Amino acid sequence: MSSELLIIERKSGYAVLTLDNPPVNALSTEILAALDAALDLIRCEDAIKSLVIVGSGEKYFSAGANIKEFESPDAGPSNGTKGQAVFLKLEKFPKPVIAAIQGNAFGGGLELSLSCHLRMAAEGIALGLPEVKLGIIPGWGGTQRLTRLAGRTRALEMILTGNPIDAKQALAWGIVNRVYPRETLLSETESLAERVAHGPSIAYRAILRAVIEGADTDMEKGLAIEQQGSREVFKSSDAKDGISAFLGKRPPKFKCVIESE
C-alpha cells in the first residue's frame, strides 16, 4: 500500500516508509492517517521485521504539522490528539523502527523521529521544536519524549527558546544515535534495518516493551514487565535455537516471527 503522501517499499526483511509531501514534508491530517494505516498493515506482515522512516528530498525530513490546519480554535487540540495517537502507536510498535533523518526535522517532524526507537541523522541538519515562536507548544509528545531522551534542562532550553540544534549537538545530548554524511545516511540506516531483520523478533518485541513501558513506571513494575517478557521469550523457538547455536558454536537460525500478541 502506498498513498500519494506516504510511499512504502518492501525490501529484504524490512520496509522503508518515505514521507513524500513536498516541499517540506508537512505532516498533514492525510499523511498522519496514511502513517496510521501503514503501521496497521506492516504490523501484520511477518516478512517485515523492521522499519525505516525517511523524508523525501534532501532539505527536510519534515518541517512538522501543516499550520494551515490550525486556523480554527479547536483545530490545534484536535489535530494534536490525532498526532499523539499515531506517534504513540509508532512508539509501541512491536518491530524496531529507525528514523533516517536526512534533512531538517522541526516541530512535528522532530516529534515523529522521537517516537521511533532509533534515530540516525545526517551531518549538518537542524532539529528543533519551534512551536513557542507561534505562541503554541509541542503537541505530539515532544515535551515528554525530548525530556526523557535529553533531560529536563536541555529539553526546556530547546522548547522554551524554540531554537534548533545541529546533528552533532543532538548526538552529544542523546537525541540521535548516530550521525553520518548525508550521502551515506540512508544506506547505513537500511543496513542496520536489514541486520535487525535477521534477529529474533520475539526478543525484540519484549525488549521494546520492557524499555518503553518500563521507563514510564517505577523500578518494581519495570522489573515485572521485564520478567514477563523474559518468560515469554524463553518459551520461543528462537530462544531454543539461540541457546543451542551458542553451545554448538554455530550461527542461530531465528524464525523472526512474532508468534502471539
Q: What are 183-216's pLDDT values in tens digits?
A: 999 999 999 999 999 999 999 999 999 999 999 8
Conformation bin of residue 10: beta by default, left when phi > 0, alpha when psi is -120 to 50:
beta
Please name the residue ranges forming H helices in 20-177.
29-43, 75-91, 108-115, 142-150, 152-161, 167-172
How far apart CA 250 and CA 248 sit, in angstroms, is 6
- The pLDDT of residue 240 is 86
Mutual angle of helices 237-248 and 201-214, in 10-degree steps: 110
| Nearest CA-CA partner of 123 in 189, 66, 171 | 171
Q: Where do the domains of the chain lie?
A: 6-197, 201-248
- The pLDDT of residue 261 is 46
Model pTM? 0.92
- The pLDDT of residue 254 is 86
pLDDT tens-digit profile of 8-30? 999 999 999 999 999 999 999 99
Do 201-248 and 6-197 fall under one CATH topology?
no
Contact 104, 63 (CB under 8 A): yes
Q: Clarify whether 111 is annotated catalytic.
A: yes
- The pLDDT of residue 72 is 63
Nearest-5° angle of CA 6, CA 8, CA 13? 150
Per CATH, is 6-197 categorized as 3.90.190.10? Answer: no
- The pLDDT of residue 224 is 96
Backbone angles phi, psi at 106, to 5 degrees: -120, 150
Q: Clarify whether 131 is annotated catalytic.
A: yes
- Cell of residue 12, nine digits: 529484504
pLDDT at 179 over 60: yes
Among 131, 183, 188, 232, which one carries the catalytic annotation?
A: 131
Among 111, 157, 183, 261, which one carries the catalytic annotation?
A: 111
Average pLDDT, integer, range 155-172: 98
201-248 CATH: 1.10.12
Average pLDDT, integer, range 117-131: 98
